[in-house]
Amino acid sequence: MKKLLQLPFLGIFSRWFEAANNAIDGIMQAAKTQRHLKFHLLAAFSVLLFCFTLGLSKIEFAVIALITLLVIVAEMFNSALEAAVDLSTRESSELARTAKDIAAGAVLVSAIGSLVIAFLILGPHIAGIWMGKFSIPSHTAANIAVLAVIMIMLMVILIKTHFGRGFPLRGGFPSGHSASAFSLWISLLHVTANPWLIACGFLAALFVAANRLRLKIHTLRDVFFGALLGSAVTLVLFRVFYH
């Protein structure tokens, strides 16, 4: 195993994987310590699912996703700046207060701008619901599969934040790898009737889950609930949106 990791390509991938794990752990740490960020992550989950339910166009959905990410990024920069200011000085300082206020103001500006844009895009759709002109839209299997993975990853981060244990990509309850693997397998079930492909997909998902146990990264409970979460969320999304 060590010799394999010494290969240039695998070494680069290993370093990228570790950097990604640390970056997502930063999101978890911010969500643990910053109540507003946890709210923004929950809001992002709800907004994206709501927009998917409304059947927005690709451009509309992309704009909503972009402004949602903008607010989250602004909140994270605000949290990072507050931590840096607190580290640099423990004494009361007018400059420190000014820096924190400006960062908080940036979050407020991004939030207000996002609300205005969301109103302009979602307003006509919400008005249609109010007038009884709403029906659940049908989406492609690819779009549902991508949404399922995004939803599952947000849920994994929030759950791990709540339990306060493990990294998003390495350990903790539930297993994000197992959730993603079984989510993709459920997606595969809806796009093909080939029993060989279905069997291979299931074995691949099972291998991912078993490998997390073999490496002692996760417990059986972590893997089981991760697989259950990924399967259940994806199955519900396909049942609702894949007509």
Domain boundary among 93, 113, 136: 136
Residue 191 shares a structural domain with residue 238: yes
CATH of the domain at 105: 1.10.287.3610
Q: Could you tell me if residue 7 is inside a domain?
A: no
Quick one: pLDDT at residue 165? 57
pLDDT at 184: 93
Q: Determine contact, residues 24/167, Cβ cutoff 8 Å.
A: yes
pLDDT reported for residue 171? 66
Among 97, 121, 136, the domain boundary falls at 136
Q: With 0-12 CB in 10 A as exposed, 13-18 as middle and 19+ as buried, what is 242?
A: middle
- Output the tens digit of pLDDT for each of the chain's 243 residues: 444 444 454 445 456 556 666 666 677 777 777 777 788 888 888 998 999 998 888 899 999 999 999 998 888 888 888 888 877 766 777 888 888 889 889 989 999 999 999 999 999 888 888 887 778 888 899 999 999 999 998 888 888 877 765 555 566 788 888 999 999 999 999 988 888 999 999 999 999 889 888 878 788 888 999 999 999 999 999 999 987
Looking at residue 170, its pLDDT comes to: 60
Judge whether 4 lies within some domain: no
Q: Which residues are catalytic?
A: 75
The answer as to whether 165 is a domain residue is: yes
Task: Flag whether 13 is in a domain.
Answer: no
Which residues constitute the domain of residue 201? 138-243
Instruction: Report the domain count for the chain.
Output: 2
- Greatest CA separation found in the chain? 68
Residue 106 falls within a domain, yes or no? yes
Q: What is the 3-state secondary structure (H, E, C) of 79-144?
A: HHHHHHHHHHCCCCCHHHHHHHHHHHHHHHHHHHHHHHHHHHHHHHHHHHHHCCCCCCCCCCHHHH
Residues 128 and 62 in one domain: yes
Pick the last residue of a domain from 98, 116, 136.
136
Whether 130 and 157 map to the same domain: the answer is no
b/e string for 157-171 if b means 16 or more Cβ within 10 A?
A: bbbbbeeeebbbbbb
Tell me, yes or no, whether 92 and 178 share the same domain. Answer: no
pLDDT of residue 148: 93
